[in-house]
Structure 1
Amino acid sequence: MTDTKNPGEKTLSVAQPKTLTLKRSGVEQGVVRQSFSHGRTKAVVVEKVKRRAHGPETGKPEPAPPSPPSHAPRPPQQQQRPPAGGGGGQRPSGGAGPRPQGGGRPSGVVLRTLTEEERSARAHALADAKVREAEERKTAEEEARRRKEREVAERAEREAAEARKREEEDRRRVEDEAKRKAEQEAKKRFGDDESARAAVPAAASAATPSSSSPRPARPAGTTPASTTPSVNARTAVQEPDEEERRPVRRGSGAGPARPVPAPKPANKTTTQKSRGRLTVVTALDAGEERERSVAAFRRRMQRLKGHAANEPKEKLVREVTIPEVITIQELANRMAERAVDVIKLLMKQGQMAKITDTIDADTAQLIAEELGHTVKRVSEADVEEGLFDVADAPEDLLPRPPVVTIMGHVDHGKTSLLDAIRKTNVVSGEAGGITQHIGAYQVTAPSGAKITFIDTPGHAAFTAMRARGAKVTDVVVLVVAADDGVMPQTVEAIQHAKAAKVPLIVAINKIDKPDAKPERVRTELLQHEVQVETFGGDTLEVEVSAKQKTNLDKLLDIIGLQSEILELKANPNRPAEGTVIEAKLDRGRGPVATVLVQRGTLKVGDIVVAGAEWGRVRALVSDTGASIATAGPAVPVEVLGFNGTPEAGDRLAVVDNEARAREVTDYRSHQKREKQAARATGMRGSLEQMMSQLKTSGRKEFPLLIKGDVQGSVEAIVGALEKLGTDEVAARVILSGVGGITESDVTLAEASGTAIIGFNVRAHKEAREAAERLGIEIRYYNIIYDLVDDVKKAMSGLLPPTTRETMLGNALILQVFNITKVGKVAGCRVTDGVVQRGANVRLIRDNVVIHEGKLGQLKHLKDDVREVTTGHECGMSFENYQDIRVGDIIECYRLETVQRSL
């Protein structure tokens, strides 16, 4: 360190600079044993600070500091008192006087005086040191107070533990005394004196230490005589418990420790008391120390707890959810009751049941209420809650295109009219010139608005298709041919429209024909309560020509006007809902369903449920064959991705996940199987009913296996064949489905002895080969007329033929001749018709038929003849009958067999 006092003087320097610090003086270190509550101790290093008193506190005068040299006068500001509580004998290291070294001799080095800033910094440091020392002193006092409280608590705990130990020792002493008395009474009762006398020398020898065994430890201050136990047959040295053998550890601050008693000598031969009789239990427990049994421990706990455990617990009342069918075990679990109690209640009601038996919901409710629980009934149909018909907010509804269904009689030009609107040629692809499928299309009107059309077949067998079309439609267009008028399917379409409560628009088609009479159509519609506007009604009507494309724009304008009146709206921003219009099985694409979306938006990837089938949408195909990503309200679309082919008419809905879809489809599949089983049971009945039906009616069945291209066609075929049945013969459909004819179908047909009918489908190669090998007939049809007619003829062959009588003539017996070896012969005159040989005859006497049989011989004069006409006489004899009289009348007739038909 360098410093310059005056200019021109020499520089003062110190060889080794040192840091100026404040050090404590009089600090010593020591070791203190710290004790803990659990008996452990620990050595802790502490510091002992000796405080130096100043001035009047000690009574000794403070030594005066050495006077500074004359050339460095000490200012009065430098005279500071040392801080209270700090190192009393330590003066500030930055003083201006000479620094004392060794024995206090001046070092001869003169230091510079402190500046104002240094003095203020040192004052602040001293003040901070005072505050810090005050805080440390306060912390030390708090720690001492806590230590004292902790020691008091530990002392109280030790006293309580010692008290508990003394109580336990007293209790054990009492129990040992009671046990000893009980053993003495048992010995007196069984008279086991010899065993007691034999145990005396054994106990004495065990109590005397041998030369080879180590001598037990003797406590200090005792004599050997005082440590030797007295030998007695009825007294044994008690072995100290483990708690008594363990020394008690105490901390250093817990007061004087109690002397640990020396362990008493123990010998198992003395503790093992002699038993009166050798049993299996005593033989096995001979070398073991007796311990308290579990039962004794439980009795002790009951005595400690009192009778609280025997008090009846409060019964918990639960809300039990009961489905339609539940097992006894599941019901007991939901009620938190024992299954035995449930079975007891059932037995009281007269019902014997096992724990795995099922009971109905009513019985389960009675049991739950009798046990004091509340019941919540649920049904399996609850899985469909929230699946359909969830109301939308009015502000979320947006306009949507109308859905128009075209209906009418067959060959009235429905598909031709739709082709003219769409500018397509669907009719050319239809077999037989008739529509046999339901179709859905979307067109754009001249005004720019979109309209969805649904085309329905007009054949009588497609009633279900027309009903489905009427259910999903907003407007029905009734097509009536001007040259044909109102026909049966026209009337049916009117009834469907009225049942669906939708507006009706009449399109009078084929007005371009020469024999067209539109006024006739309007008049005939009045008979079915359809009054058009021309006759003052409220039903819109328009005359059109699909061939000449006349008034098609007018028809579209009327449809748009009707849809504006209806104010059709739907919410596109929600999960989709719709109806399956048609379904089929494509060999390349799998199950394909034609769906009309009614609410929401259907997207690729959605999980959908339709009837008993579900799947994930793999692709959406529009009516034009283009793949689309979404389909909004009133948009017809083909959906690919179903696990199986749904049925036409099923409602489609989008669900959240596959688990929900499986839950819904499982319930619907179960319901479907139950309905089929109930229908089959109702048709067949019991075995006795079946036998009685065979005896009385003799109804014959014509088995069939039907495969079609679409679900609607198969449904129509099955419905048409069921209508052909009579009381004597009926068609029984073994299997019906969509898709091609497979090998399994041929196997089923061979097992049931039935024929296979394919409608617009063909058999696979394997199925065709199997059918040829097994001799199974496969018939293909593409027109429903031909299919129904052929099945009708085949079923007619099962009908029994009828017998019809044809009257030939009558004859009157004039005389009876008795001829030897021939019998009686009647001489007759033919009064009416003709009598033929071999014909059937009746013998009538007094207007009562006496005999029916055959004519044996017929003779005219002496010759055998084939027939005798009116007015001639002849001789007749009957086969195996001789009782003939004069005046009887003979009727001659012929039986003819006539084949019946349906």
Structure 2
Amino acid sequence: MSDSDGKKTLGLLSGGRSGQVKQSFSHGRTKNVVVETKRKRVVVPKPGAQKSATGTAGAAMGDPSKRPAGISDAELERRMKALAAAKARESEDEERRAAEEQARAEERERRRSEAEQKEREEREREERARQKAEEEERKRQEEADEAARAAAPAPVEAEKAPAADRSAPRGAAPAPSPRKVDRERDDRREVKGKPTRGDDDVRRAGKLTLNQALAGGEGGRQRSLAAMKRKQERARQKAMGGLQDREKVVREVQLPEAIMVSELANRMAERVADVVKALMQSGIMATQNQTIDADTAELIIEEFGHKVVRVSDADVEQVIDSVDDKPDDLRPRPPVVTIMGHVDHGKTSLLDAIRKTKVVAGEAGGITQHIGAYQVTTDSGATLTFLDTPGHAAFTSMRARGAQVTDIVVLVVAADDAVMPQTVEAINHAKAAKVPMIVAINKIDKPSANPQKVRTDLLQHEVVVEEFSGDVQDVEVSALSGLGLDDLLEAIALQAEVLELKANPDRAAMGAVIEAQLDVGRGPVATVLVQNGTLRQGDIFVVGEKWGKVRALVNDKGERVEAAGPSEPVEVLGLNGTPEAGDVLNVVETEAQAREIAAYREQLAKDKRAAAGAATTLEQLMARAKDDKNISELPIVVKADVQGSAEAIVQAMEKIGNEEVRVRVLHSGVGAITETDVGLAEASGAPVIGFNVRANAPARNAANQKGVEIRYYSVIYDLVDDVKAAASGLLKAEVRENFIGYAKILEVFKVSNVGKVAGCLVTEGVARRSAGVRLLRDNVVIHEGTLKTLKRFKDEVPEVQSGQECGMAFENYDDIRPNDVIEIFEREEVERSLG
């Protein structure tokens, strides 16, 4: 509001609302107050006030009166630049979005065109395939019609037709004319005036839908191509003069104790569905994968009209040819010579000298770890097969296998060492195998050589050499200088001539597995010594619980050969697993026979192991469990390069231990150390021992993560010694007592807060407070314990020498008397080891 002078005064603007409010006070007083409420001001923009920011800003800059209050020129210019930049960014974003949208549209168009092109090409390809199939079908039908027309008699005269009908077989349908066949085919291809695809095209049309299956008819399940061919063949046979019923082929069906339904149908050459149907009619609900007993199968076989030949499971091995050879078929064969003897007596060195090679240099530690098989041709042209066996005590079983396949044993004895334990074992193996023996006294060039002592020592083991009027040849040789090698070969040839060794090379091969290993690049490999027949590439064989087909043969020189005759050692590739060393290899005719024999042997081995486990009574198990609690075990996992080494290591481990500790081999196998071996070792807290093998990368990583120790060895001496040392760590330390003195009780005193104290005289040795004591009364031990106090006069002392008096008090024992003797001793723990 304003007064008359034009000055503005404070006041309420018009538009407010006034009223009275009654106020209440204390003591009943009231007061009326006049109040006025002010309405909220609402700002409504004028029409046309929304102008572009640029125009407004330009007007504001051009006209200072329209510029917002408090805005300087610099601030207004900065705002204008920011506004222009925002406008530019917005326009750029719109252009970019438009370009992206256009690119997406072009990509969709390109994909659509590619899809259409691909679909068009697919339709064309299908159309070409359909036309080709129709053309082939038409050609086949024309050929069938042509054959039918050629076979059917030509109707030359109407009078000859009845005669032709009379000459036709009874029941045979007249051959349709070619025109009628074509018309029927066209009718089949046209349904309701629309051409349809042939049976062959319908069969290839795709998957069968549920609607087609329910509808049946043309859209139902179609015949296979083989069924269509059979149908055409029947139609052709019918057109050529009628079908002839096939004669029933009666077969001899070999029936084991149990047989699968599908296998029974296969042996009868009947359909599986027919066999299942016959079983259902007999009240037996069985599928083709179920096994039925022999009695039920016999009824089914007789129902189908076949003959039953009952066989047992063991009859599967009868296919192995065990016919004796005729004398006319036998041919001379090279002798198999096994070199035996004590370790480090020069067996391999002697063989190297004969072969003029360096085999011993390739063996770890200069010790033969495997059985090696080699062929040598002498200067005289004779061929000899040598088996080099290890001499270490752990390889006893390997030497035993070497003696089983050999013809002649060459016993190598060092002239400077005479007869040793493994020499005696070799003599026993040779006697058990009943093979002749030739003694090679090696290292004859050493100054300490005494060949006469060797001959004398051999007398103790019933080996009498020719020099002592015996029948055993002995030759003095030197592997280093080559002295006497010709005499040794001559002795071997003479012995072989006496034996008259012969074999039939024209029969199925039979041989013995000398060694077996799992090669990383070649798979299971077996070193086989062929004993009879000829083993050829491609032969199917069974060896122990394994079978295979000869993929390759490698001789002792590393060369690939096509065949191996009698007495020839070869490496055989193509097995389905690693056989046991010592298994017999037999060649069979078919792969099915090999599978059957291997499966039978494997099942037989499983049953034998199960029977051995079941034979243990409950009392025996309880007693064994009680014994096991008192025995500490060192578990190990063994992996070796060949089967013979693994077997030898396991046997050596079984010999380590005593009544307190033993070594238990959790698992032994052939081949590289795998992740499975590491997992087994971790679960049992066992180390993994690799003999001439290494762990693969996953196994190494797993061992590092799980903390499993993997130890590698190449010499069996070191392996046995380390395991023996580890097992010795499980032995409890032996506690020994060392007597250090005696004391005699002269008087007994009662001391408060201490109890009875013995006044003693040390009569022998020394008395120590830390030592153990025994109280002897009339040379009988009545208490054993420790000293509570040891005093000299009134002072506590650690020890008292002989001849001095002292006071002693026992811990928790007061029954002491004069003239009792106190025995003083010290205990010490002594580490034990397995011998």
Change (3 A) 1:796 1:453: same
1:428 to 345, 354, 361: 361
Q: Deviations over 1:743-799 (max 9, x none)?
A: 222222222322111111111122212211221111111110111111111111112
Aligned: 1:526 with 2:459: yes
Tell me what 1:792 maps to. 724
Aligned: 1:496 with 2:429: yes
1:603 to 536, 551, 554: 536
Cα deviation for residue 511 of structure 1 reads 0.6
> Which SS does the other structure have where 1:623 is aligned?
coil
Cα deviation for residue 573 of structure 1 reads 0.6
For the residues of structure 2 that align with 1:357 and 1:864, how far apart are their CA atoms?
A: 91
For the residues of structure 2 that align with 1:616 and 1:791, how far apart are their CA atoms?
A: 40
Tell me what 1:232 maps to. none
Tell me what 1:590 maps to. 523
Letter in 1 for 2:419: V
Aligned: 1:869 with 2:801: yes
Change (3 A) 1:558 1:687: same
Tell me what 1:452 maps to. 385
Change (3 A) 1:403 1:687: same
Tell me what 2:827 maps to. 895
1:849 to 764, 781, 784: 781
Aligned ranges 1:353-752 → 2 under 5 Å: 380-387=313-320, 389-677=322-610, 686=618, 689-690=621-622, 693-694=625-626, 698-752=630-684
> Which SS does the other structure have where 1:827 is aligned?
strand
Change (3 A) 1:854 1:592: same
Aligned ranges 1:266-345 → 2 under 5 Å: none
For the residues of structure 1 that align with 2:696 and 2:658, how far apart are their CA atoms?
A: 34
Tell me what 1:836 maps to. 768
Q: Deviations over 1:237-284 (max 9, x none)?
A: xxxxxxxxxxxxxxxxxxxxxxxxxxxxxxxxxxxxxxxxxxxxxxxx
Q: Deviations over 1:134-161 (max 9, x none)?
A: xxxxxxxxxxxxxxxxxxxxxxxxxxxx
For the residues of structure 1 that align with 2:340 and 2:367, how far apart are their CA atoms?
A: 13
Tell me what 1:826 maps to. 758
For the residues of structure 2 that align with 1:599 and 1:786, how far apart are their CA atoms?
A: 40
Q: Deviations over 1:584-606 (max 9, x none)?
A: 11111111110000000000000
Q: Aligned residue pairs: how many?
A: 557
CA contact (8 A) 1:324 1:380 kept: no
> Which SS does the other structure have where 1:882 is aligned?
coil
> Which SS does the other structure have where 1:538 is aligned?
coil
> Which SS does the other structure have where 1:418 is aligned?
helix
Q: Deviations over 1:612-640 (max 9, x none)?
A: 11111000001111111010100000000
Change (3 A) 1:388 1:786: farther
For the residues of structure 2 that align with 1:805 and 1:704, how far apart are their CA atoms?
A: 36
> Which SS does the other structure have where 2:639 is aligned?
strand
Letter in 1 for 2:411: L
Cα deviation for residue 325 of structure 1 reads 13
Change (3 A) 1:784 1:510: same
Which 5+ residue runs of structure 1 have no aligned equivalent? Answer: 1-44, 47-318, 341-355, 362-374
Structure (1 or 2) with the greater helix fraction = 2
Cα deviation for residue 411 of structure 1 reads 0.7
Cα deviation for residue 694 of structure 1 reads 3.5
With normalisation by structure 2, the TM-score equals 0.63
For the residues of structure 2 that align with 1:726 and 1:773, how far apart are their CA atoms?
A: 34
> Which SS does the other structure have where 1:529 is aligned?
coil
Tell me what 1:781 maps to. 713
Change (3 A) 1:528 1:820: same
CA contact (8 A) 2:258 2:292 kept: no
CA contact (8 A) 1:697 1:727 kept: no
For the residues of structure 2 that align with 1:459 and 1:522, how far apart are their CA atoms?
A: 22
For the residues of structure 1 that align with 2:434 and 2:808, how far apart are their CA atoms?
A: 77
For the residues of structure 2 that align with 1:446 and 1:425, how far apart are their CA atoms?
A: 19
Change (3 A) 1:325 1:702: farther
For the residues of structure 1 that align with 2:710 and 2:293, how far apart are their CA atoms?
A: 49
For the residues of structure 1 that align with 2:363 and 2:688, how far apart are their CA atoms?
A: 23
> Which SS does the other structure have where 1:834 is aligned?
strand
Cα deviation for residue 388 of structure 1 reads 6.0
For the residues of structure 1 that align with 2:624 and 2:718, how far apart are their CA atoms?
A: 36
Letter in 2 for 1:674: D
For the residues of structure 2 that align with 1:695 and 1:494, how far apart are their CA atoms?
A: 38
> Which SS does the other structure have where 1:701 is aligned?
strand
For the residues of structure 2 that align with 1:717 and 1:579, how far apart are their CA atoms?
A: 22
Cα deviation for residue 358 of structure 1 reads 12
Tell me what 2:699 maps to. 767
For the residues of structure 2 that align with 1:357 and 1:803, how far apart are their CA atoms?
A: 66
Aligned ranges 1:82-93 → 2 under 5 Å: none
For the residues of structure 1 that align with 2:620 and 2:511, how far apart are their CA atoms?
A: 46
CA contact (8 A) 1:697 1:728 kept: no
Cα deviation for residue 681 of structure 1 reads 6.2
For the residues of structure 1 that align with 2:670 and 2:504, how far apart are their CA atoms?
A: 34
For the residues of structure 2 that align with 1:437 and 1:708, how far apart are their CA atoms?
A: 11
Q: Deviations over 1:66-93 (max 9, x none)?
A: xxxxxxxxxxxxxxxxxxxxxxxxxxxx
Change (3 A) 1:564 1:753: same
Cα deviation for residue 726 of structure 1 reads 2.1
Cα deviation for residue 321 of structure 1 reads 8.3
Letter in 1 for 2:760: C
> Which SS does the other structure have where 1:498 is aligned?
helix
Change (3 A) 1:602 1:322: closer
Change (3 A) 1:888 1:771: same
C-alpha RMSD of the superposition? 3.4
For the residues of structure 2 that align with 1:828 and 1:385, how far apart are their CA atoms?
A: 92
Letter in 1 for 2:754: V
Letter in 2 for 1:803: V
CA contact (8 A) 1:758 1:778 kept: yes
Letter in 2 for 1:753: G
Which has the larger Rg?
1
Cα deviation for residue 701 of structure 1 reads 1.8
Letter in 2 for 1:390: V
